[in-house]
Structure 1
Amino acid sequence: MTVTSIATLKSTNGAAPNEYSHVLGYYTPGDGGGGAFYWDDAATDAEDGIVTIKAPNATGRWKRLHMHIIDVKWAGAKGDGTTNDITAVQQAIDFCSQNGYTLKLSPGTYLCNGSLWLKDNTVITGAGSISVLKIGASGQIRGEKGGVRNYGFSTKYLDEIIPANGEDYDNVLLTTDVAKGSVTLPVASTTQVNIGDVVYTYNDFGDAWAILENVAFSAEWNNYDNPLAQMEVFTVVAKTTTTVTLNRPTLFDCPKDAPFRKLIGVRDVWLSDFKVEFVAEVQNGILLEQIRNCRIDKLVLQNGGIALMNKSAWSTVTNCTITTNTYRCIVVDAFSTGNRISNNTCNYTHGGDAAILVMMSNNNSVCNNTVEGSGGRPLDELGICCHARSYNNVFVGNVVRNMAEGYGLYFGCWANTFHANSSAKCFVDYSVYYAGKATISGAVSFGTSEIRDNIVLPPDPPGTIRLKRSLSIFGSRDIVVTDGIFEKNMLIQATKNVVIANNTLQGDLTLIPDLSDAGPVIRNNRIISTGKCISVMVPVYNTTAPYTPILIEGNYLEGNADRLIYIQRAVHVYIRHNTIKANDHIGVGFNDVASFTAITNNHFMDCAVAVDFSATPGSNVSTSYAAVKDNQFFNCTTMYQSWVSPVNNSFIGKCGVNGFEIMNLAATVPVTPDKKWVYIAAADGQTGAANWKEITL
Structure 2
Amino acid sequence: MENKFIKTLLTACCMLVSYGLVATCYMAKQDEQVLNVTSFGAIRNDDTDDRAAIQACIDKAADAKRVCYIPAGRYIINGDLWLPSGVTMKGDGGKSVLDFKKGALRILKNKLKEFSYTNNYNNEIVPGEQLAALRAGANSGATSLRLENAGSIAVGDLIYIYNNKRDSWTVLEDKSKTALWNSPGTEMARKELFIVKGKQGNTLVLDQPLKFSYKQGATVGRHVGAQQVTVTDLAISNYAAPYAVMLEQPRQVILKNLHMDANGGILLSHMAYKCQVLNCNINVTKNRAILVENFSAGNLVSNNTVNYTTGGDAAIMALMCSYDNTITENKVTGHGTRGTDEGGIFIHALCYGNKVYNNTITGTAEGVGAYYGAMDNEFYNNSIKGVRVGIISYYARNNDFYKNDIVIQTLRAGNTVGALIFCSDGITLTGNTISGNILFGVQLQASNACRVAGNNIQGISPEKYSFGIKVIPGKNKGAENQLGNNRINKVKTPVATQ
Output the TM-score relative to the length of structure 1. 0.64
Pick the aligned partner of 1:403 from 345, 364, 369.
364
Are 1:381 and 2:342 counterparts?
yes
Q: Which residue identity lines up with residue 50 of structure 2 in the other structure?
A: D
Pick the aligned partner of 2:494 from 533, 542, 547.
533
Displacement of 1:353 after TM fit? 2.2
Distance 1:357 1:288 in 2: 15
In the alignment, what sits opposite 2:450?
Answer: 498
Pick the aligned partner of 1:519 from 462, 480, 489.
480
SS in 1 for 2:286: coil
Are 1:480 and 2:425 counterparts?
no
Pick the aligned partner of 2:244 from 285, 300, 303.
285
In the alignment, what sits opposite 2:14?
Answer: none
Deviations 1:19-71 (A, max 9, x none): xxxxxxxxxxxxxxxxx9xxxxxxxxxxxxxxxxxxxxxxxxxxx99421122
Are 1:94 and 2:59 counterparts?
yes
Q: Summarize the Cα distance change of 1:65–1:357 in structure 2 as closer, same or farther, 3 Å threshold.
A: closer
Displacement of 1:281 after TM fit? 4.6
In the alignment, what sits opposite 1:68?
Answer: 33
The answer to whether the Cα contact below 8 Å between 1:288 and 1:307 also exists between their aligned partners in 2 is yes
Please show how residues 136-147 of structure 1 align to structure 2 within 5 Å: 136-137=101-102, 139-147=103-111
Q: Which residue identity lines up with residue 123 of structure 2 in the other structure?
A: D
Please show how residues 255-404 of structure 1 align to structure 2 within 5 Å: 255-278=215-238, 280-303=239-262, 304-351=264-311, 353-360=313-320, 361-404=322-365
- Higher alpha-carbon deviation: 512-521 or 117-126: 512-521
The answer to whether the Cα contact below 8 Å between 2:163 and 2:219 also exists between their aligned partners in 1 is no
Are 1:83 and 2:48 counterparts?
yes
Deviations 1:58-105 (A, max 9, x none): xxxxxx994211222121211224211111100000000111101111
SS in 2 for 1:179: coil
Displacement of 1:227 after TM fit? 4.7
Displacement of 1:389 after TM fit? 0.5
Deviations 1:265-316 (A, max 9, x none): 11000111110111x2521221111111111011011113101101111111
Deviations 1:332-390 (A, max 9, x none): 00000000111111111244521111012111011111111115222231111110010
SS in 2 for 1:298: strand
Unaligned runs of 5+ in 1: 1-35, 37-63, 456-465, 538-697
Distance 1:247 1:227 in 2: 25
The answer to whether the Cα contact below 8 Å between 1:413 and 1:436 also exists between their aligned partners in 2 is yes
In the alignment, what sits opposite 1:612?
Answer: none
SS in 2 for 1:211: helix
The structure with the greater share of residues assigned to helix is 2
Deviations 1:515-574 (A, max 9, x none): 83321222221101331001122xxxxxxxxxxxxxxxxxxxxxxxxxxxxxxxxxxxxx
Distance 1:65 1:336 in 2: 36
In the alignment, what sits opposite 1:445?
Answer: 406
- Number of positions where the alignment pairs a residue of Structure 1 with one of Structure 2: 457
In the alignment, what sits opposite 1:242?
Answer: 202
**Following TM superposition, where does structure 1 have runs of at least 4 consecutive aligned residues deviating by more than 4 angstroms?**
none
Distance 2:61 2:312 in 1: 39
Output the TM-score relative to the length of structure 2. 0.88
The answer to whether the Cα contact below 8 Å between 1:204 and 1:254 also exists between their aligned partners in 2 is no
The answer to whether the Cα contact below 8 Å between 2:100 and 2:240 also exists between their aligned partners in 1 is no
- Computing the radius of gyration over CA atoms, which structure comes out larger, 1 or 2? 1
Displacement of 1:202 after TM fit? 1.2
Q: Percent identity?
A: 30
Q: Summarize the Cα distance change of 1:481–1:318 in structure 2 as closer, same or farther, 3 Å threshold.
A: same
SS in 2 for 1:219: helix
The answer to whether the Cα contact below 8 Å between 2:108 and 2:226 also exists between their aligned partners in 1 is yes
- Higher alpha-carbon deviation: 510-519 or 246-255: 510-519
Q: Summarize the Cα distance change of 1:352–1:359 in structure 2 as closer, same or farther, 3 Å threshold.
A: closer
Distance 1:383 1:513 in 2: 28
Unaligned runs of 5+ in 2: 1-23, 460-467
Q: Summarize the Cα distance change of 1:495–1:143 in structure 2 as closer, same or farther, 3 Å threshold.
A: same
Please show how residues 147-186 of structure 1 align to structure 2 within 5 Å: 147-162=111-126, 164-165=127-128, 168-169=129-130, 171-186=131-146
Please show how residues 101-140 of structure 1 align to structure 2 within 5 Å: 101-137=66-102, 139-140=103-104
Distance 1:442 1:177 in 2: 41
The answer to whether the Cα contact below 8 Å between 1:351 and 1:373 also exists between their aligned partners in 2 is no
The answer to whether the Cα contact below 8 Å between 1:81 and 1:108 also exists between their aligned partners in 2 is no
Distance 2:446 2:106 in 1: 43
Displacement of 1:258 after TM fit? 1.6
Measured on the aligned residues, the alpha-carbon RMSD in Å equals 1.9
Distance 2:154 2:269 in 1: 24
Displacement of 1:181 after TM fit? 1.6
Q: Which residue identity lines up with residue 369 of structure 1 in the other structure?
A: N
Higher relative contact order (CA 8 A, sep 6+): 2
Displacement of 1:510 after TM fit? 0.3
